[in-house]
Structure 1
């Protein structure tokens, strides 16, 4: 039985509570499509490739982590953006997008889902307060730096960039999926043994070396695949809705 667009939006907003965190893009329904939804496609980014696959699958809606209309970008609908949005409008496909709300959800979010797969326990907010984009936790028993690199490769399917320092065992770890490399400073100042994120900047390696914290860059796309899948599974369990995750490969 189809679910209405507004019922689906209400369910997503109730689950992810986008009003709780300031973001650099609008969260929720970004492109309006069909009023009734039977099939949804989920993916990391609303790229043309994902949209084309959704069209092939005859999907009524797409749910992504990286949508459109970012602060500071050109607002004109030209070129790549025009083609993407024109395809959605032509096929009457709804686009739902949740950025930071999908990172911070305590059980279905990108950070929580990565921690689950890596076996991290005693999870707490790295930034303090009620809501934190980055998290911290522990490995019990502790793990060697090379063993953590191997575990990341097994979980994510790619070899992480790995900067090893002097510590022989990793007891404590902090992490932020995607482009969260800036949080390494906060983790290092707390004396945490290792930091995991998706991307790396030139200065990140110097921070790791000079502040004696193991660093892993495991891929922006790779570390942010699990949250949208978990939310898609949740929606499928709540509604009579067919949900398929489509992974558009991206080495970044």
Structure 2
């Protein structure tokens, strides 16, 4: 499978042209032209690159790549080390940010719903990134938090009354705590995301809506794995997911 053919197919699959994003989606670092082994992970850290080198991967597929808005553009320090290892080993880097959050089947929100037993029925928020729906069975906020801890192997931050019944909820993986007010406006009893900010506590207390911060990394493990499995099945690639512990 040619790297550029893989990029073209994935770009169409995830409809990347539909999104206003903070970083380029697709090939961010060009490697060898042919891809047979694809290693995936959440973030293109140096540790993930080391894992790709050890496994002799041809390309890396991630959710969090490089070249973020307002970052230092100089190729120095950490960025130099990462890019040097990719270039020296001729390993390509493909990254998909918001398009991977949003995909209705393979995306982070869709895959988190599968993991936690959530049933989505509509979208809201900027670029339809906020998912709305309900749990598969009646749950309290505390029971939902316990389910998330069991599935994600990480204790979430729970804001609000643990005994509150959750009939309607919203979720958006990663650093989407800013959608809390949108979820409240859509009648949600609880909101799930990766991160939490100071003002979320007061909003949860004063408006009586639960908030679960699952962990940015923990909430975004599953989309990249679903995408890699899909690509491997379609193009007969060998793939592997590398989990690198991240408490954030």
Give TM-score scaled by structure 1 length. Answer: 0.95
Q: Give runs of ≥4 in structure 1 deviating > 4 Å.
A: none
The residue number in structure 2 matching 1:80 is: 78
> Judging changes above 3 Å, is the alpha-carbon distance between structure 1 residues 116 and 67 closer, same or farther for their aligned structure 2 residues?
same
The residue number in structure 2 matching 1:240 is: 236
From 9, 24, 27, the equivalent of 2:25 is: 27
Residue 155 of structure 2: SS of its match in structure 1? coil
The residue number in structure 1 matching 2:224 is: 228
Q: What pairs up with 1:6-25 in 2 under 5 angstroms?
A: 6-25=4-23
> Judging changes above 3 Å, is the alpha-carbon distance between structure 1 residues 124 and 239 closer, same or farther for their aligned structure 2 residues?
same
User: C-alpha distance in 2, partners of 1:70/1:196?
Assistant: 24
Q: What pairs up with 1:138-149 in 2 under 5 angstroms?
A: 138-149=134-145
Q: Kindly provide the CA deviation profile for residues 62-113 of structure 1, in whole angstroms up to 9, marking residues without a partner as x.
A: 0000000111111000000000000000000000000000000001000010
Residue 230 of structure 2: SS of its match in structure 1? helix
User: C-alpha distance in 2, partners of 1:162/1:61?
Assistant: 38
The residue number in structure 2 matching 1:57 is: 55
How many residue pairs get aligned? The number is: 248
User: C-alpha distance in 2, partners of 1:195/1:71?
Assistant: 27
User: C-alpha distance in 1, partners of 2:135/2:93?
Assistant: 38
User: C-alpha distance in 1, partners of 2:47/2:86?
Assistant: 12
RMSD across aligned positions (CA): 1.2
Give TM-score scaled by structure 2 length. Answer: 0.97
Structure 1 residue runs of 5 or longer lacking an equivalent are none
The residue number in structure 2 matching 1:108 is: 106
**CA positional deviation for 1:31:** 0.2
The residue number in structure 1 matching 2:184 is: 188
Residue 200 of structure 2: SS of its match in structure 1? helix
